[in-house]
A = this chain, B = another copy of it.
């Protein structure tokens, strides 16, 4: 068996791999709203069929309380090989706001070097890179056992995955978890992620009058719930961009000087990079931390959605009966999502006036996670990336949240190696999500090399 043979297989089957990715992207497997149940089932079955077609064994679609988990195995071509558990998710974020897409979100379209579709980078593209890298390596002789766990609930916080893992500990036993749901700093900058932020997501509703009121007749005697909500939201940060929830920073692990120096090793100017990627007129946030620290190693509180009253075209002179905000916190070690929920409740209890009523829904949560850099998995991936891109990878803490990383550690005792081949301008969770195809193809090469390097490192 030889790496070269596997890489040649990759080269000669690129057109089919792209067509398969496009087929998966056409299925609108949105998990965050309840109206895509059949699409979710369709996507799960599609992945299972693809696994079967490439020769996987024990392929099954396991139902859960919500969306099914797809499982499959590819055995190594030699005995005593180590096992890599590959994690992925086939669900995607909603495509809203639809009007801002240049081409429809579920009609994958190649423009230039990029493939545009919801889920192209997050993470159907990464799932297919993993499946096809395994297919190529299997053609040449797989040096490791592969187990796939492809879930359908990542975008809603993976509520059923922990139960599935706990129920199938033996089946899922492995030496490392490869999780390609992270990304790269740029097309020439291979990246290994060693830290992820956690998440706590809330919906806050402020209720005022029993029904919408005429603002002329009642304006002046009722606390407008949209105004009360604005007041509560405005108070959740101080003037330096720090979150004001009581105790919010108590358990935040400080960043060591050594780590600050390491995080500052970047191939670009982070301020210019973030300005260019976001298009904001000026960066914002805690002044005593760098932009890289603020997005990776510091917690945040964001308003994800805001609604009250009349929002269509034109004017309506109404005092709304209620106002709603979706709010989420990105968490860092050692914050606890349940404690953060209590902190938000404590803030609201302390600051909500008695002129309104409020309700808080705690929607989902997961703690942050960190991976040691001295593991065979990380070292094998670093070696594979250097061979593919001709340079050592960058190590970073990523601001996103992947709850499964913590679950793999807690339930299976498995370290995760976090990577992925999406770029910062892939528009994740946003209109015109896209996948940079040259980087995607290099990613498959790197994964093939990783399997061989890990077989050696773990030997």
Q: Is the CB of A304 within 8 A of B215?
A: yes
Nearest B residue (CB) for A33: B314
Can you list 19 residue pairs at the A/B interface with Cβ under 8 Å? Answer: A33-B313, A93-B316, A96-B316, A201-B317, A212-B431, A215-B328, A215-B330, A217-B398, A217-B399, A218-B295, A221-B278, A226-B304, A227-B237, A234-B234, A302-B317, A303-B309, A304-B310, A309-B326, A315-B364
Nearest B residue (CB) for A279: B210
* Chain B residues positioned under 8 Å from A209 (CB to CB): 278-280
Q: Is the CB of A310 within 8 A of B326?
A: yes
Nearest B residue (CB) for A219: B300
Q: Choose among A96, A230, A233, A357 the residue with the greatest number of B CB atoms under 10 Å from its CB.
A: A230
CA distance in complex: A295, B221 (Å): 7
Assess whether A305 is interfacial by the CB under 8 Å rule. yes
Assess whether A284 is interfacial by the CB under 8 Å rule. yes
Q: How far is the CB of A123 from chain B (nearest CB, A)?
A: 12
Q: Is the CB of B316 within 8 A of A304?
A: yes
Contacts A222-B283, A230-B230 given; 14 further ones with Cβ under 8 A? A33-B314, A212-B427, A213-B430, A215-B330, A217-B399, A218-B277, A221-B284, A221-B291, A222-B274, A230-B231, A234-B235, A280-B355, A311-B324, A316-B326
Nearest B residue (CB) for A94: B316
Q: How far is the CB of A40 from chain B (nearest CB, A)?
A: 13
Q: Is the CB of A219 within 8 A of B302?
A: yes
Known A230-B234, A234-B227, A311-B326; contact A295-B220, beta-carbon cutoff 8 A: yes
Assess whether A112 is interfacial by the CB under 8 Å rule. no
CA distance in complex: A305, B316 (Å): 8
* Chain B residues positioned under 8 Å from A399 (CB to CB): 214, 216-220
Assess whether A441 is interfacial by the CB under 8 Å rule. no
Q: Choose among A305, A312, A363 the residue with the greatest number of B CB atoms under 10 Å from its CB.
A: A305
Q: Is the CB of B96 within 8 A of A215?
A: no
* Chain B residues positioned under 8 Å from A306 (CB to CB): 226, 229-230, 306-309, 311, 320, 323
Q: Is the CB of B315 within 8 A of A157?
A: yes
* Chain B residues positioned under 8 Å from A430 (CB to CB): 211-214, 318, 321
Q: How far is the CB of A198 from chain B (nearest CB, A)?
A: 10
Assess whether A192 is interfacial by the CB under 8 Å rule. no
CA distance in complex: A24, B156 (Å): 48
Q: Is the CB of B32 within 8 A of A294?
A: no
* Chain B residues positioned under 8 Å from A315 (CB to CB): 32, 156-157, 201, 304, 326, 328, 363-364
Q: Is the CB of B278 within 8 A of A222?
A: yes
Q: Is the CB of A305 within 8 A of B303?
A: no
Assess whether A197 is interfacial by the CB under 8 Å rule. yes
Assess whether A99 is interfacial by the CB under 8 Å rule. no
Assess whether A145 is interfacial by the CB under 8 Å rule. no
